[in-house]
Amino acid sequence: MRPLSYALTALLGLNSVSVAYAASPDDWRSSQATSPKKGRKSGAKDHKPQPSAQHARSPEYITAYGRTSPLQAVPVVGGKLGLSIQHTPGTINVVSHDVMMQRGYAQAEAAADSAPGVSSGGSPGAPAQLMMRGFSGNQILVLHDGQYFGPTTMVNRPQNSFNLESVQVLKGPSSVLYGQGAVGGTVDMRSRTPTFDGPHANALISYGSFNTWNAGVGGSVPITRTLALRTDFSRTSSDGFVKGADPHSDDFTTTLLWKPTSKFTARLSMDYLTDRLSTYYGTPLVDLAQTGGRVGGLLGSSKGLGITRASPWRYYNVRDSKAGSVNATPTLHLDWRVNNHVLFHNSSYVIYSKRRWNNAESLSYISSPGNIDAAGNAIAPGSIGRDRFYVYQNQHQVGDTLHGQFDFSIFGMKNRFVLGGDAYYLRFIRNRGFPSANYADSVSLVSPEATPLGSFAGEYPFMKSPTTMVQAGLFLEDVLTIRDNLRLVGGFRYDWLSLDRQNYRQNGQFNAATSFKGHYNPDNFRIGPVFDLTKNVSLYGVYTTGEDPPGSNLFLTNRGQFAKLSHSRQGEIGVKASLLDGRLTTTLSLYDIRRTRMLVSTGPDTVATAGVQKSRGVEWQGDFAFDRHWSLSGNVAYTYSRYGSFHPSASVDASGNQVPNVPAVTANLWAIWSRVADLPLDLGAGMRYVSARKGDYANTLSLKNYALVNVFVGWHAYKNITVYGRIDNIGNKHFIQWADTGYAGQVMLGAPRSFSISAQADF
């Protein structure tokens, strides 16, 4: 097999796995935890060597074959079997806390963007959206420490990276692991946890363009031999690259770890987040035949639309806009290793969230006379007509997951079996309203006035839509080691889902025509072999299914739109290799996904049925350490994504069209020179490329490709303190990051060139 592995290496070239650590805090069966009382190793018999003191602080670190190995990472997002990245039949990317800090990723979405084929965007109404393998929105499952919070477009918020140990990404359908909403992939944001190896402290302060501040302070301390505490607090704030957007967030996380014996661990955590999202809802598209003076290099339109030179970086929202939330999530994790062959894990959680929006969200260029606003005033052609839309959300959720892991032999073959169940109750109340007129008011295209929200006929009383979801599921996973170099991995999940969607009119009357109740029983499975060509080179194949609620926002669905569950399936093959004594890590995957009976968002408060969406592509990633000073990381992905039969409106046939916001090609490259000339100095540069995309279902709007270059210099001022200077988008490239299909008259611009300086301390 050795010549074949060398041939594969030559074909794959360089690669980038973004992390060189692993083993999750929930996966202590694979860790090297020692009993705080007896100093005895716990867990299975085949212990791996202890990490160095420097890395031992991280509970997500593992050592294999006597040295660090990225493919031996055991990220929780891959399932409950405790499989390494190398032996998981699927594509997993992990971005560590250290990588996020070095590259300047202030929020988790930027870290996810660095994975192959991932792009992000969204608007304040549906923030921090991720696109992968041709799917986005609620078809990407976002977890926080393994917990499901609800539909992504409703509940997801930007997450400060300072509080996170890692961002873990699993590509493709994973309903068999997490129950619902995971078609394009799953992203798990893992919080930092305490350790027993002495007190540690971390701090971060950063200031940059647009009056942008980032600050964080945290630390871990062993209170007793069996009790440890970690607390982190971070704050981000900015005027925004569109002045007036004013985003900020405060994130407080704390975890108390109790380990009375080597066989039992209890971890109690609290995450408390308050924020105000950026209230920049986009830049309006105008009729260039009337305005002229377009900004080139941004988009193309068969309808003659574009962005005039007078409108970039203008703020068209009201001056007292609102887009804030309060989120509190206590969780309790319990681990009990009965013996070397049996362990149990239980996690319980409660979620409370309150979210408020009140904005001028929709922008429309007025091209002709005859339009009036809510007050009866004529709107001059060339102006921007605006709406008003407010949404108040209250979410209460409680859930629990219990599973057991059992190691035994079948006819002399090693086998690991996981059996468990989970359940949650979710109560979601959504109140909303908007003026009865088409346009609430209007502002100038060239110099929009800072007007207040105001009050308009038809806004109140609000329309109320309470939704109750009750879910219970049984799941199993299994890995059978047929031979030392051949494993068969499988999984199955069966769910009971009860949904009660209620709508009330403005007069408080129950709307039976749009309300509905439903009971659903999805079942999903995955199966795939993993074959080791050598100890460090593996081939895999996997087939996975997903049967879950349709892709669009479940809390917007009305009677008649959700008769059956959506079905998806994926086939994937790939290779993973760690070569040159671990200095070269490379992976390659090919996939094909098909999803049927799905819903997509076509407006701020509406959805439509898309019969089929197909996606296939190739993803490659690589990481090469030339020596202890030079390293190169990169990835590239190709995605082909199209709709089947799809009519988003009576006038638009999108059948066969390209899915909006999906780039055919994405690429990332990072080069780092550490300890330049043996000085306490690091230099780094990164490049990100995103190819052209479509901006609407009809494919009449094309968003141009773009390439961004970022550079940084790091000065190790003291052995525990590093000062960074950064320039992002050094070429000041103007580009469109996202086109929200629910807001056809506007697009979201990306950030222009920015500067920042930061200081980071780790003790």
C-alpha 636/C-alpha 15 separation (Å) is 9
Residue 665 has pLDDT above 70, yes or no: yes
Q: Which has the minimum average pLDDT: 116-125, 322-331, 520-529?
A: 116-125
C-alpha 217/C-alpha 762 separation (Å) is 10
What pLDDT score was predicted for residue 553? 64
409 and 367 part of one domain: yes
C-alpha 746/C-alpha 751 separation (Å) is 16
Beta bridge partners of 568: 546, 595
What burial letters (b/e) apply to 498-515, b meaning 16+ CB within 10 Å?
A: ebebbbbeeeeeeeeebb
Report yes or no: 133 and 117 within 8 Å, Cβ to Cβ.
yes
Cα–Cα separations (whole angstroms), residue 266 to 44, 226, 301, 533? 19, 10, 57, 40
434 and 327 part of one domain: yes
Residue 579 has pLDDT above 80, yes or no: yes
What pLDDT score was predicted for residue 60? 34
Which range, 36-40, 327-331, 546-550, has the best average confidence (pLDDT)? Answer: 327-331
Residue with tokens 């109340």: 429
Q: Which amino acid is residue 5, in one-letter code? A: S
Cα–Cα separations (whole angstroms), residue 632 to 106, 168, 676? 22, 21, 15
- Run of H or E residues at 8: helix 2-12
Strands 147-148, 126-132: pairing is: unpaired
Which residues have CB under 8 Å from 413's CB, separation 6+?
480, 481, 482
Domain count of the fold of the chain:
2
Residue 688 has pLDDT above 90, yes or no: yes
Tens of pLDDT, residue by residue over 336-361, are: 999 999 999 999 999 999 999 999 99
Report yes or no: 648 and 697 within 8 Å, Cβ to Cβ.
yes
101 and 250 part of one domain: no
Band of residue 605 on the pLDDT scale cut at 50, 70, 90? low
Q: Which two tokens stand for residue 138?
A: 């609620």
What pLDDT score was predicted for residue 267? 98
Band of residue 137 on the pLDDT scale cut at 50, 70, 90? confident
Residue 318 has pLDDT above 70, yes or no: yes
Strands (E), 105-247: 118-123, 126-132, 135-136, 140-144, 147-148, 164-171, 185-191, 200-208, 212-222, 227-237
C-alpha 360/C-alpha 137 separation (Å) is 22
What pLDDT score was predicted for residue 31? 34
Residue 19 has pLDDT above 60, yes or no: no
Q: Which has the minimum average pLDDT: 53-57, 442-446, 468-472, 726-730?
A: 53-57
Which has the closest alpha carbon to 751: 731, 721, 725, 722?
731
What pLDDT score was predicted for residue 647? 82
What residue numbers bound the domain in which 552 lies?
A: 200-277+309-762
Band of residue 634 on the pLDDT scale cut at 50, 70, 90? very high
Mean per-residue pLDDT, 623-629 = 92
| Angle in degrees, CA 472, 478, 483, rounded to 5 | 175
C-alpha 515/C-alpha 614 separation (Å) is 31
Which has the closest alpha carbon to 8: 482, 532, 486?
532
Tens of pLDDT, residue by residue over 143-159, are: 999 888 877 877 888 89
Q: Is residue 6 part of a domain?
A: no
Q: What is the CATH number of the domain that holds 85?
A: 2.170.130.10
The three-state secondary structure class of 80 is coil
223 and 178 part of one domain: no
Q: Is 181 left (phi over 0), alpha (psi -120 to 50) or beta?
A: left
The three-state secondary structure class of 4 is helix
C-alpha 267/C-alpha 347 separation (Å) is 9
Band of residue 1 on the pLDDT scale cut at 50, 70, 90? very low
Cα–Cα separations (whole angstroms), residue 762 to 62, 203, 215, 216? 21, 7, 14, 12
Last residue of a domain, one of 172, 191, 210: 191
Sign of CA dihedral 591, 597, 598, 600: positive
221 and 261 part of one domain: yes
Q: Which residue has the higher pLDDT, 586 or 62?
A: 586
C-alpha 284/C-alpha 296 separation (Å) is 15
Q: Is residue 304 part of a domain?
A: no
Mean pLDDT score across all residues of the chain: 88
Q: Which two tokens stand for residue 728?
A: 């992002």
Last residue of a domain, one of 191, 226, 253: 191
Q: Which two tokens stand for residue 304?
A: 């003659």
Band of residue 550 on the pLDDT scale cut at 50, 70, 90? low
Q: Is residue 293 part of a domain?
A: no
What pLDDT score was predicted for residue 152? 80
Q: Which two tokens stand for residue 297?
A: 């290099």
Report yes or no: 286 and 299 within 8 Å, Cβ to Cβ.
no
176 and 212 part of one domain: no
Band of residue 547 on the pLDDT scale cut at 50, 70, 90? confident
C-alpha 593/C-alpha 613 separation (Å) is 8
Q: Is residue 151 part of a domain?
A: yes
Cα–Cα separations (whole angstroms), residue 467 to 389, 499, 501, 518, 554? 20, 7, 5, 12, 9
Last residue of a domain, one of 163, 191, 219: 191
465 and 442 part of one domain: yes
Tens of pLDDT, residue by residue over 486-508, are: 999 999 999 999 999 999 999 99
Mean per-residue pLDDT, 590-617 = 80
Q: Which has the minimum average pLDDT: 54-68, 117-131, 453-467?
A: 54-68
469 and 486 part of one domain: yes
> Within 10 Å of residue 230's Cβ, how many Cβ atoms?
22
What is the percent of the chain with per-residue pLDDT over 90, rounded to a whole number?
A: 75
Mean per-residue pLDDT, 107-124 = 91
Report yes or no: 442 and 379 within 8 Å, Cβ to Cβ.
yes
Report yes or no: 565 and 551 within 8 Å, Cβ to Cβ.
no
Q: Is residue 646 part of a domain?
A: yes
145 and 218 part of one domain: no
Instruction: Concatenate the DSSP letters of all residues of 494-531 into one string.
Output: EEEEEEEE--B-TTS-B-TTT-EEEEE--EEEEEEEEE
Which has the closest alpha carbon to 583: 538, 624, 633?
624
Q: Is residue 701 part of a domain?
A: yes
Q: Exposure of 418 by Cβ count < 10 A (0-12 exposed, 13-18 middle, 19+ buried)?
A: buried
Strands 147-148, 164-171: pairing is: unpaired
What pLDDT score was predicted for residue 406? 98
Cα atoms in the Cβ-side hemisphere of radius 13 Å centred on 277:
25
Q: Is residue 675 part of a domain?
A: yes
Report yes or no: 740 and 282 within 8 Å, Cβ to Cβ.
yes
Q: Which two tokens stand for residue 501?
A: 């969607």
Cα–Cα separations (whole angstroms), residue 478 to 9, 46, 49, 82, 489? 30, 19, 26, 11, 6
Q: What is the 3-state secondary structure (H, E, C) of 203-224?
A: EEEEEEHHHEEEEEEEEEEECC
What pLDDT score was predicted for residue 552? 54
The verdict on whether omega for the bond into residue 461 sits within 30 degrees of 0, i.e. cis, is yes
C-alpha 62/C-alpha 71 separation (Å) is 10
Band of residue 651 on the pLDDT scale cut at 50, 70, 90? confident
110 and 224 part of one domain: no
Mean per-residue pLDDT, 183-196 = 94
Cα–Cα separations (whole angstroms), residue 682 to 402, 458, 607, 670, 709? 45, 59, 49, 13, 17
68 and 132 part of one domain: yes
738 and 685 part of one domain: yes
C-alpha 716/C-alpha 736 separation (Å) is 36
Sign of CA dihedral 735, 738, 744, 746: negative
Report yes or no: 520 and 499 within 8 Å, Cβ to Cβ.
yes
Q: What is the 3-state secondary structure (H, E, C) of 349-414?
A: EEEEEEEEEEECCCEEECCCCCCECCCCCECCCCEEEECCEEEEEEEEEEEEEEEEEEEEEECCEE
* pTM as predicted: 0.89
C-alpha 188/C-alpha 538 separation (Å) is 25
Band of residue 607 on the pLDDT scale cut at 50, 70, 90? low
Q: What is the CATH number of the domain that holds 719?
A: 2.40.170.20
Which residues have CB under 8 Å from 323's CB, separation 6+?
124, 276, 277, 278, 279, 356, 357, 359
Beta bridge partners of 591: 572, 617
Q: Is residue 123 part of a domain?
A: yes
What pLDDT score was predicted for residue 363? 96
